[in-house]
Amino acid sequence: MPPGVTLDRAYPDLFDSTDCQCLAALHKAPVSVDARHRLTRRGERVHDAIYLQDGFAGRYRLDWSGRRQFLSLQIPGDFIDLPSLMVGYLDHDIATISPAICVPFPHQGLHDLRETRPQLYDQFWRVSLRDAAIHRYAAFRVGRLAGRARIANFFAEVFARQFARRLCDKDGFALPLTQADIGEACGMTPVHANRMLSELRSEGLCTLEGGVVTIHDLPGLARAGQFEWDYLYLPDPIDAELTRLIGQAGAKARRRGPRARTSAAACR
């Protein structure tokens, strides 16, 4: 894989070095894209899966008055439009937020993996399931949590996802979003996002400045956002590290032992 294309770091639990070699043969040349640039339009036919080598992007839908709801934030190392691999087009728009580097993987090449490397093929299914879990959790976040908690929860997610890729340490992470963007991600107005951010700041939990979130109290932030990260399906070592840093039993603590039920039958 050419310099800079670091799939192995992005999904350490899913792609081993052999996989990465194999994938290196499949992608086209990386492309630089400006900030605030639409990558994919809802409903438009696409033939390549985009791997976000660097930079941030967002998936969103617009309401009928043109206001935007972010569905998920995509961080460096994400495949950002895998659904298109199986259905050929997307039900939402995708745009960069910061300047970005995108690596196109032609669908055809990925499809061929089913024959040539079925294990690897399955990994893409796993990636898209992880994606789905992130969407689900977004519904929980905006549906159930109050303003301050929504932002704290959102920050905690972005932290955990970047931390899992070694893109940041426990003290902070990159988040090149405006307060308006954060509002659109968390389902609130920019003004209110501002007020909630200043609450988090004055409570000594975190500060956002210059596209960087500095974390002053990670357990406090996670608590404020009722954050539990089991839905990220992180590999065990990283999961343990997060548990150590955050404290709460929000991870796999709840995963049950091997004696669990195996079907609906058992729960009659």
Positions in 221-240 near its own copies (CB under 8 A): 226, 230-231, 233
Q: Is 114 in the site for its own copies (CB under 8 A)?
A: yes
DSSP collapsed to 3 states, 90-105: CCCEEEECCCEEEEEE
Positions in 148-167 near DNA (CB under 7 A): 148
By rule CB under 8 A, what count of residues binds its own copies?
76
User: CB of 163: closest distance to DNA in angstroms?
Assistant: 23
Three-class DSSP category at 165: coil
Q: Is 178 in the site for DNA (CB under 7 A)?
A: yes
Q: Which two tokens stand for residue 94?
A: 């995708």
Residues 184/70, Cβ–Cβ less than 8 Å: yes
Residues 179/193, Cβ–Cβ less than 8 Å: yes
Q: Which window, 51-59, 77-85, 165-173, 185-193, contacts DNA (CB under 7 A)?
A: 185-193
**Strands (DSSP E) along the chain, which ranges?**
31-33, 38-40, 48-54, 57-62, 68-74, 93-96, 100-106, 172-174, 206-209, 212-215
Q: Is 191 in the site for DNA (CB under 7 A)?
A: yes
User: CB of 171: closest distance to its own copies in angstroms?
Assistant: 26
Q: Which window, 71-79, 128-136, 143-151, 247-255, contacts DNA (CB under 7 A)?
A: 143-151
Which partner from the list its own copies, DNA, none does 131 bind, CB cut-off 5 to 8 Å by kind? its own copies
- What length does the chain have? 268
Q: Is 214 in the site for DNA (CB under 7 A)?
A: no
Residues 15/7, Cβ–Cβ less than 8 Å: yes
| Cα(250)–Cα(192) distance, integer angstroms | 28
DSSP per-residue string spanning 2-47: -TT--HHHH-TTT--HHHHHHHHTT----EEE-TT-EEE-TT-B--
x/- track of binding to DNA for residues 223-252 (CB under 7 A): ------------------------------
| Cα(113)–Cα(6) distance, integer angstroms | 19
Interface with its own copies (CB under 8 A), residue from 117, 165, 192, 252 = 252
Which partner from the list its own copies, DNA, none does 122 bind, CB cut-off 5 to 8 Å by kind? its own copies
Interface with its own copies (CB under 8 A), residue from 9, 36, 126, 195 = 126
Q: Is 179 in the site for DNA (CB under 7 A)?
A: yes
By rule CB under 7 A, what count of residues binds DNA?
17
| Cα(148)–Cα(199) distance, integer angstroms | 8
Which partner from the list its own copies, DNA, none does 197 bind, CB cut-off 5 to 8 Å by kind? DNA
User: CB of 38: closest distance to DNA in angstroms?
Assistant: 16
